[in-house]
Amino acid sequence: MNSSNPNSPRAFLHRAASALENSPLKDMQRNAKALAQSAAGRLDLVTRDEFDALQAMLAAANTRIAALEAQVSALESRVQPPAQG
């Protein structure tokens, strides 16, 4: 198949891509994307990396809290007098 033929599928695809690139639809897509990015920028959002880092910090804090609670319970059981029955 000769790609220099103006009726070839390759030539058709090239013309179609060129027409889409210069169409008002492409401008509308760019404008919609810019509007969405602008709106998202005004929201209080975090990146996935920030979320993952905070989630790891929270998991570590929860582990530490559980260890401290166990330590406090052990200390309290040593201090409290035995129950009288």
The DSSP code sequence of 41-57 is HHS----HHHHHHHHHH
In a domain, 40, yes or no: yes
| Entry pTM | 0.46
| Together in a domain, 54 and 38 | no
Is the domain of 41 the same as that of 56? no
Same domain, 6 and 18: yes
Question: Domain check: are 38 and 55 in the same one?
Answer: no
- Is it the case that residue 1 has pLDDT exceeding 60? no
* DSSP single-letter state for residue 39: H
Are 62 and 72 within one domain?
Answer: yes
Q: How many domains does the chain have?
A: 2
The percent of residues above 70 in pLDDT, for the chain, comes to 89
Query: Each residue of 26-73: pLDDT tens digit?
Result: 788 888 989 988 887 788 888 899 999 999 999 999 999 999 999 999
In a domain, 85, yes or no: no
Query: For residues 46, 43, 41 and 55, what is the CA-based torsion angle, rounded to 10 degrees?
Result: 0
Residue 63: which domain range?
Answer: 46-80
DSSP 80: S
